[in-house]
Amino acid sequence: MMDIREYLKEFAQQDCACGKSHAVEIPRLVVESGAIVKIPQFVGEFGAKKPFLLADAVTYEVAGRRVCEILAEAGIECEKYVFPVGVEPDEVAIDSATTHFDDTCDIVIGVGSGVINDIGKMLANAVGKPYFIVATAPSMDGYASATSSMSIGGLKVSLDSKRADLIIGDIDILKQAPSTMLVAGLGDMLAKYVSIAEWRIAREVTGEYYCERVADLIRGALCRCVDNVDGLLNREDDAVRSVFEGLVIGGVAMAFAGVSRPASGVEHYFSHVWDMRGLAYGTQVQLHGIQCAVATYIASGLYEKVLGLIPGRDKAIRYAENFDYPAWADMVRSLLGAGGDAMVSLEEKEQKYNVAKHLERLEVICAKWDKILKIIREEIPSQREIGAILDKIGAPKSIEEIGVDLDMPTTLCLTKDIRDKYVLSRLLWDIGVIDEIV
């Protein structure tokens, strides 16, 4: 395969049958051993003279301190702010980063993975400076995205931020990441099996935009990750590189499509529900990619059950007509706190439970059921196959193993209300079986 950035640039320059231009800004990407020693060169290429480094207590020791030393050896002054351990991507963290930012600095360098990258992109956007991210783990797919996953008012949201100008993936650093973070990265990639299937299903049911070329870009990256899975926990360069580059491709694919569809579906909403529960009540949560791994395994089993269903029109209509909206709103608020309030407010705008709108979707679902089943068979491996991959890397496969305190039926029910995105739980509600399929 050619250099990943050149590969993505070539993709973007080609005309696409989907009708959308994919000419988006693609970050400069350096993935090689010893990449961080080139940071002074990159700072100079951007015309910067005084970086501001953002890290947390862990990532600073992993790579941030070394970045500061490399800059100092090159005669480049560097200011820094190091968050304590346990920082959350929320308003408090953004305010703290902005408050500590030195106005004489002319570039922001984030050193970390998910949380630091999300905060770093928000900071760089707010102060109008170029942004580099020195990745410390191949654990999530936000490195190349122009959004930040934040917790605002108890609700997990994606906010417009800044896309990194440069992504540095030093293989020597990435392969030393804790094994849980390596597993998390692969878990986030395995989620793409579900996301692509649901993107196609949404096109059939709601007429949503879909691009086969972007979907195929994700499929190729996912295939390379799975092909190299045996070497991941052995920290083999090719395995670590395939996951990291796959995650970067996921972020760029979302930019190509203009939506998060290529990289996230119901499995990400499982994770969001657990995160929101944790924010509201302090319950246990795991790394996003670990939660996505468990959710992908669960979702693959649910989709296998869907393959044995035949929608009953009368049953589905009765279910929608008997839906107890006040009881639903009370449940969401009680389980998710402030995040539940936000979800109820969102539904007042979206009107997913409007009986007339439901009937329109149901007619389409019944007419296209065979096509929906074909998509599931084409895109989502069996639960046994997903489980075998997770077993190879010692990943959990159940809610009990990761310690979340919402059971599976409740979690599934809540996933349909995170965003106005057509996912598995929306389909199950539409055909009136969401309460009985688990």
Cβ–Cβ under 8 Å, residues 112 and 57: no
Q: How confident is the model at residue 147 (pLDDT cuts 50, 70, 90)?
A: confident
Mean pLDDT of the chain: 94
Say if residue 361's pLDDT is above 60: yes
Residue with tokens 């890290």: 55
- 15-174 sits in which CATH class? alpha beta
CA 73/CA 9 separation, integer angstroms: 34
pLDDT of residue 119: 94
Mean pLDDT of 163-189: 96
SS3 132: strand
Q: How confident is the model at residue 142 (pLDDT cuts 50, 70, 90)?
A: confident
What would the DSSP string read from start to end of 41-96?
A: HHHHHTT-SSEEEEEEHHHIIIIIHHHHHHHHHTT---EEEEEPTT--SBHHHHHH
pLDDT of residue 154: 64
Whole-number percent of the chain with pLDDT over 70: 99
pLDDT of residue 1: 45
Q: How confident is the model at residue 155 (pLDDT cuts 50, 70, 90)?
A: low
Mean pLDDT of 404-430: 95
pLDDT tens digits along 307-335: 999 999 999 999 999 999 999 999 999 99
Mean pLDDT of 182-199: 97
pLDDT tens digits along 204-243: 999 999 999 999 999 999 999 999 999 999 999 999 999 9
Residue with tokens 């993936």: 169
Q: 329: which 2 tokens?
A: 């709103």
pLDDT tens digits along 50-88: 999 999 999 999 999 999 999 999 999 999 999 987 788
Domain boundaries, the chain: 15-174, 184-210+261-430
Say if residue 399's pLDDT is above 60: yes
Strands 131-135 and 166-170, by their bridges, are parallel
Q: Which of 99, 172, 160 is nearest to 135 (CA)?
A: 172
CA 292/CA 149 separation, integer angstroms: 15
Q: How confident is the model at residue 378 (pLDDT cuts 50, 70, 90)?
A: very high
Q: Which of 143, 142, 167 is nearest to 156 (CA)?
A: 142
pLDDT tens digits along 82-96: 998 778 888 889 999
CA 333/CA 354 separation, integer angstroms: 20
Angle at 246 between CA 244 and CA 251, to 5 degrees: 100
Torsion angle defined by CA atoms of residues 90, 91, 93 and 97, in that order, rounded to the nearest 10 degrees: 140
CB atoms within 10 A of CB 5: 18
CA 411/CA 340 separation, integer angstroms: 13
pLDDT tens digits along 80-129: 999 987 788 888 899 999 999 999 999 999 999 989 999 999 999 999 99
Say if residue 415's pLDDT is above 60: yes
pLDDT of residue 113: 92
More confident residue, 13 or 289: 289
Per CATH, the number for 184-210+261-430 is: 1.20.1090
